[in-house]
A and B are shown apart, each in its own frame.
Chain A
Amino acid sequence: MKKAIILISLTILGVYLIDIFTGIGFGTQHFASGVKDAYLIGSKETLRVSNVVTSIVVNFRGFDTLGEVTVLFLASMALGGILYKKRHDVGERSVLFPSTRIVMSGAKLLFPSIVLLGAYVFIHGHLSPGGGFQGGTIIATGFLLMLITYRNYSVSHNRLSWVESLAGVLFISLGLAGYFVHDSFLANVFPEGKLNDLFSGGVIGIIYVAVGFKVAAELTGIIYTILHEKD
């Protein structure tokens, strides 16, 4: 009965949504004048960042990204609070089955290249698709691989918190530099350089590197906390 009601109301919602979105149209320009063009031009002319998504994420709407980083930070904080236990209660990592020698050496071989790929992705975030969040996630998958392959592989919690905090502080201090120099938080304080150069976009590249470190540390921390749950 309950399911039927839910099904019916969801169908109604679906019909409504399809109606709305077909009305909006797909693959066409929906609005006459939006902020889109300002972003494209600003990114090319003023910021000299070739990846427009990056310049939106880090500069035009950089405040969102600060909030986003905070959300991740909060999630790892809340996770630690929810699953808190005294030191001597911390369990063995739950392992479904021991990994074979092939997996072990494979993981060891892959780990440095995964980290390198992650670093490449966030260093080139302003030139090509990718950026801090993507690169950080890739690095965290490297740690995940090591953690599930080696039963006794461990990451120092203190070290993770250091990386996390320093990266966060770097992000905010670059923002504050703009606040003191140009009177506006997150304003660019470094020379913009040339479009499509590695050193272009001023603070944008540096902020994305900081975000990359922070995301990598936070995701690794979250994985680590959940893996160490006794059942």
Chain B
Amino acid sequence: MVGTPVLFIVIPLLAAFIIPLTGMVWKNSVRIIPGIVLSYMLILSISLLWHITETGTVIEVIAGWKPPIGINLVFSPFSGFFATLMIFLGLLVWVYSYKFKRNIDSEPALKYFILLMLLVTGSVGIVLTGDIFNMFVFIEIVGISGYGLTSFYTRRDSAEAAFKYLFMGSIASTFLLLAIMIVYSQLGTLNIAEIADKMPMMSNKLKVISLIFFMLAIGVEAEMFPLNGWAPDVYTQAPGPIGAAFAGIVAKAATYATIRVMFTMYDLSGAMDFLIVMGILTFIVAETTALRQDRLKRMLAYSSIGQMGLVMVAFGIGTKEGIFAALFLIFNHAIIKGLLFFSGSYLVYTKKEKHISDVNGMGKYLPITSVLFTIGAFAIIGLPPFSGFWGKLAILTAAADSKMVALIAIILSVSVLEAVYYLRVVNRIYFFPKKESMETQKPTINALIAMISLGIIILVIGFYPDLITGFIDRAAADLMDKTGYIKDILTINN
């Protein structure tokens, strides 16, 4: 063991406080230290992930107070899976943008890397914490670093996108506080496990209203259907790699929060029509909107929202297969959307508007990037032999097992739409003549490393899905075992 879960939060914060000082002495440290910290977090999470296969869930208490009193961090197969995935993606975003920002001054670089590191830390905190108010604090950490990162480029309309995000985010946090206070006023506790344990004591009316407030609040970050108006603008205006970070890290953490609240706190197991309906709505609306977009990043953003809708559907099916499918889809989405955002940023590098037609003929000028983008596009559509295929297959099997035929039909037909707009882009890359005005920008070596490693993962998982199904299986089983979660936390002897 290299450490305990609390170090996931403490080490990055320590680094964040120190970096402004080292930056005065050694300019490059503002770029290097976040990378070291993220690598350390990755090593820690992988070693903990191995550790818990033997010993079971690791629960750590803060300040020596046992769970209902103090705050606790839970590293279970389920939360550990999310944490590892998010940290890995955060590290790749760091690798990708290490040189990307070479031309800017050291002060914005300092801010960029600290905000990126704390975005990852906050998301990991959302996933690990066992306390509902602590989750609120981490959601705000993610929110503020998100606003800062979105408005990073001063010449775009980024401030407007960030303001939109902030507007939604603050209304969401108000509702989150309301929901937390309603729950606290009834149960007198803020610990998720104890809330789940005492939930039957709450009257049905308060249960429903507080759940609605929770969903309103977390749905904003999770990009659920009527609440995702901010997402496409933020994805478009933020620096390229940050789009990947939003899709792969923030949306994942918020999905985790949704699931924790619905499954564990409110005990809505079994088929959850609400989640299925919201997920399907999100999926259909987002994918049809994506079809109409003429800017690459906006298209990717809507596609990302649609994928998260599909994840919601898979969770809503509620069986163990459904959750397995959801987790597989989450894994795929993080990896593949990361690759698409990374390579897409280079395909439309110089133009301000970043139209889809700008990718015309890039296959000749940026061969590696184009191939990687194509791999990503094929994978997200769900073509075999890429990892995306197994995710789609898993959700279709889960739906078939639950006898939801209409669901299968909808998923398949919307997937065709998805295939249409991705293949359209791939077609443009290879078979259209290049626009004269379009300049090309060769990817830097570290960006290539980040993209190629994602591409390799997509291929390897495509051929050997067994490499991760073990982890996903354990994670799904862990989520289903609600009483185990409550018992583990409330009877910890420390």
A–B contact via C-beta, under 8 angstroms: yes
Q: Point out the residues of chain A lying under 8 angstroms from B131, CB to CB.
A: 61, 63
Q: Point out the residues of chain A lying under 8 angstroms from B138, CB to CB.
A: 67
Can you list, as one digit per residue, whether each of B93-133 has a CB less than 8 Å from chain A (1) or not (0)? 00000000000010110011011001000000100010101
Q: Is the CB of B64 within 8 A of A63?
A: no
Indicate whether A94 reaches chain B with its CB closer than 8 angstroms: no
Q: Is the CB of B186 within 8 A of A66?
A: no
Q: Chain B contact residues: over half helix, strand or loop, or mixed? A: helix
Q: Point out the residues of chain A lying under 8 angstroms from B140, CB to CB.
A: 67, 71
Indicate whether A150 reaches chain B with its CB closer than 8 angstroms: no
Q: Is the CB of B115 within 8 A of A187?
A: no
Q: Point out the residues of chain B lying under 8 angstroms from A182, CB to CB.
A: 64
Q: Using known A-B contacts A34-B187, A63-B71, determine if residue A78 contacts B17 with beta carbons closer than 8 Å.
A: no
Q: Is the CB of A67 within 8 A of B125?
A: yes
Cβ-closest chain B residue relative to A58: B63
Complex CA–CA separation, A64 to B136 (angstroms):
9
Indicate whether B24 reaches chain A with its CB closer than 8 angstroms: yes
Q: Is the CB of B190 within 8 A of A30?
A: no
Complex CA–CA separation, A73 to B69 (angstroms):
27
Q: Is the CB of B111 within 8 A of A77?
A: yes
Indicate whether A88 reaches chain B with its CB closer than 8 angstroms: no
Enumerate B1-53 residues with CB–CB distance to A below 8 Å: 6, 9-10, 13-14, 16-18, 20-21, 24
Cβ-closest chain B residue relative to A187: B64
Taking residues whose C-beta sits less than 8 angstroms from the other chain, chain A's interface range is: 35 or more
Q: Is the CB of B10 within 8 A of A70?
A: no
Cβ-closest chain B residue relative to A214: B17
Indicate whether A103 reaches chain B with its CB closer than 8 angstroms: no
Indicate whether A38 reaches chain B with its CB closer than 8 angstroms: yes
Complex CA–CA separation, A81 to B9 (angstroms):
23
Q: Point out the residues of chain A lying under 8 angstroms from B6, CB to CB.
A: 179, 185
Q: Is the CB of B188 within 8 A of A74?
A: no
Q: Is the CB of B185 within 8 A of A24?
A: yes
Q: Is the CB of A81 within 8 A of B111?
A: yes
Indicate whether B245 reaches chain A with its CB closer than 8 angstroms: no
Q: Using known A-B contacts A20-B206, A86-B105, determine if residue A38 contacts B68 with beta carbons closer than 8 Å.
A: yes
Enumerate A60-118 residues with CB–CB distance to B below 8 Å: 60-64, 66-68, 70-71, 73-75, 77-78, 80-82, 84, 86
Complex CA–CA separation, A187 to B111 (angstroms):
31
Can you list, as one digit per residue, whether each of A181-206 has a CB less than 8 Å from chain B (1) or not (0)? 01011111000000000000000000
Q: Is the CB of A31 within 8 A of B137?
A: no
Q: Is the CB of A61 within 8 A of B112?
A: no
Indicate whether A137 reaches chain B with its CB closer than 8 angstroms: no
Q: Is the CB of A175 within 8 A of B69?
A: no
Q: Using known A-B contacts A77-B148, A187-B64, determine if residue A36 contacts B188 with beta carbons closer than 8 Å.
A: yes
Q: Using known A-B contacts A172-B14, A184-B62, determine if residue A64 contacts B137 with beta carbons closer than 8 Å.
A: yes
Cβ-closest chain B residue relative to A160: B20
Q: Point out the residues of chain A lying under 8 angstroms from B118, CB to CB.
A: 70, 74
Q: Point out the residues of chain B lying under 8 angstroms from A61, CB to CB.
A: 70-71, 131, 133-134
Complex CA–CA separation, A168 to B60 (angstroms):
22
Q: Using known A-B contacts A74-B118, A84-B154, determine if residue A34 contacts B189 with beta carbons closer than 8 Å.
A: yes
Can you list, as one digit per residue, whether each of B142-164 has a CB less than 8 Å from chain A (1) or not (0)? 00110110011010000100100
Cβ-closest chain A residue relative to B210: A20
Q: Using known A-B contacts A64-B137, A67-B134, determine if residue A31 contacts B71 with beta carbons closer than 8 Å.
A: no
Q: Using known A-B contacts A78-B115, A165-B20, determine if residue A60 contacts B69 with beta carbons closer than 8 Å.
A: yes
Complex CA–CA separation, A77 to B64 (angstroms):
32
Indicate whether B182 reaches chain A with its CB closer than 8 angstroms: yes
Q: Is the CB of B63 within 8 A of A186?
A: yes
Taking residues whose C-beta sits less than 8 angstroms from the other chain, chain B's interface range is: 35 or more
Q: Is the CB of B187 within 8 A of A185?
A: no
Indicate whether A35 reaches chain B with its CB closer than 8 angstroms: yes
Q: Is the CB of B18 within 8 A of A165?
A: yes
Q: Using known A-B contacts A42-B69, A168-B17, determine if residue A30 contacts B185 with beta carbons closer than 8 Å.
A: yes
Q: Is the CB of B188 within 8 A of A35?
A: yes
Complex CA–CA separation, A16 to B212 (angstroms):
12
Q: Is the CB of A63 within 8 A of B148?
A: no
Indicate whether A39 reaches chain B with its CB closer than 8 angstroms: yes
Complex CA–CA separation, A68 to B85 (angstroms):
25
Indicate whether A161 reaches chain B with its CB closer than 8 angstroms: yes
Q: Point out the residues of chain A lying under 8 angstroms from B60, CB to CB.
A: 184-185
A19 CB to nearest chain B CB (Å): 9
Indicate whether B65 reaches chain A with its CB closer than 8 angstroms: yes
Cβ-closest chain B residue relative to A81: B111
Q: Is the CB of A71 within 8 A of B64?
A: no
Q: Point out the residues of chain A lying under 8 angstroms from B64, CB to CB.
A: 178, 182, 184, 187-188
Indicate whether B330 reaches chain A with its CB closer than 8 angstroms: no
Can you list, as one digit per residue, whether each of B271-311 has a CB less than 8 Å from chain A (1) or not (0)? 00000000000000000000000000000000000000000
Indicate whether B380 reaches chain A with its CB closer than 8 angstroms: no
Q: Is the CB of B186 within 8 A of A164?
A: no
Which of these, A34, A68, A176, A187, contacts B63 with CB under 8 Å?
A: A187
Q: Name 6 interchain pairs, CB-CB below 8 A, sorted by A.
A: A23-B206, A35-B190, A74-B141, A81-B148, A165-B17, A186-B63
Binding site for B on A (CB under 8 A): 16-17, 20, 23-24, 30-36, 38-39, 42, 59-64, 66-68, 70-71, 73-75, 77-78, 80-82, 84, 86, 158, 161-162, 164-165, 168-169, 172, 175-176, 178-179, 182, 184-188
9 nearest A-B pairs in the assembled complex, by CB-CB distance: A34-B188, A78-B148, A168-B17, A31-B188, A67-B137, A81-B111, A186-B63, A187-B64, A184-B64
Instruction: Identify 12 new A-B residue pairs, CB closer than 8 A, beyond the known A67-B141, A158-B24.
Output: A24-B185, A62-B62, A64-B71, A66-B13, A67-B138, A78-B148, A82-B148, A82-B151, A84-B108, A165-B18, A172-B10, A178-B64
